[in-house]
Structure 1
């Protein structure tokens, strides 16, 4: 069995991000591959502007992040949602990465997740990233998972999903993702 390198991060810049909590929960379940987790907020970049790009070039954190993505065969990303869309923080990073390399996700297998306090589990953001944004940059979305009503379905003390149906579904998603990486 050939172990793959997976890069994991949340699309949120909140220190109390529930998407980061879901991500940490999933990363613990990965047993067959090497996972590197990062905080996207450690890669500080200005709001994308063609003027900034023209005068200052690419922000070095975007280049560093793109190089880090290159070093991994797969990604696990938990996207947050603000007003039914990916957060401006996350989208800004994607905008800069796409300027560094328009195919920065080419050949990358992705497990995409989302959660929210509400009943839709940030599905609008997840669907946009899964169906529109990431395929445009070459990503292969292998699996996706949305956890609705985070506070009702996740116990922050035990760091476990409390809803058996969602827990089984997430286990299936993670297992399928890991198996797909072996192909």
Structure 2
């Protein structure tokens, strides 16, 4: 199985990238590719820009990466209760290629934050909207208080209850 994983943020020190990188390793015998959204930076989407210049190559590449995967893991950073601008822009451009951005791929959706909310607002939005974009969501997990529940040095969850929940989601793939 080929797993594509990424944090829906442009932060280079992303706790969501740490979480999603760990989660993808739980898929037995999988080949995992972790994307960095900074590699897909492009102009802010607008219909005028699309009409003038077409769809950027970076959007095409991102869309293709999803298409090549068997499963997609995404961990959402939350900015002011919603998606990060970096993720939203890439998603908007990719949706212009095909509204079915997730191409019927099995998906695991996650989110974390340093605080007790665990980025539940953005995760709820993602889980609710993903099926409209052809996602087969196998499960979702919010990890509150990241630094209390994740061992940064070992690169893994340390909260047994969260580990069990994540393993149950991964088992659905």
- For this structure pair, what is the TM-score category when the shorter chain's length is used for normalisation? over 0.9
Q: How far off is 1:162 after superposition?
A: 2.3
Choose which of 21, 34, 37 in structure 2 pairs with 1:37. 34
Q: How far off is 1:163 after superposition?
A: 2.0
Q: Give the secondary-structure state (helix, strand or coil) at the position aligned to 2:75.
A: strand
After superposition, where does 1:134-153 map in structure 2 within 5 Å?
134-153=130-149
After superposition, where does 1:49-60 map in structure 2 within 5 Å?
49-60=46-57
Are 1:95 and 2:108 an aligned pair?
no
Q: How far off is 1:176 after superposition?
A: 2.7
For the Cα contact (< 8 Å) 1:73–1:107, is it kept in 2? no
After superposition, where does 1:78-157 map in structure 2 within 5 Å?
78-132=75-129, 134-157=130-153
For the Cα contact (< 8 Å) 1:104–1:138, is it kept in 2? yes
Q: Give the secondary-structure state (helix, strand or coil) at the position aligned to 1:110.
A: strand
> How many correspondences in the alignment?
173
Distance (whole Å) between structure 2 residues aligned to residue 28 and residue 108 of structure 1: 18
For the Cα contact (< 8 Å) 1:119–1:149, is it kept in 2? yes
Q: Give the secondary-structure state (helix, strand or coil) at the position aligned to 2:164.
A: helix
Cα root mean square deviation, aligned:
1.3
Distance (whole Å) between structure 1 residues aligned to residue 81 and residue 36 of structure 2: 23
Moved segments of 4+, more than 4 Å? none
For the Cα contact (< 8 Å) 1:81–1:87, is it kept in 2? yes
TM-score for both structures, normalised by structure 2: 0.94
After superposition, where does 1:3-22 map in structure 2 within 5 Å?
4-22=1-19
Distance (whole Å) between structure 1 residues aligned to residue 84 and residue 131 of structure 2: 18
Are 1:164 and 2:160 an aligned pair?
yes
Distance (whole Å) between structure 2 residues aligned to residue 164 and residue 73 of structure 1: 27
TM-score for both structures, normalised by structure 1: 0.89
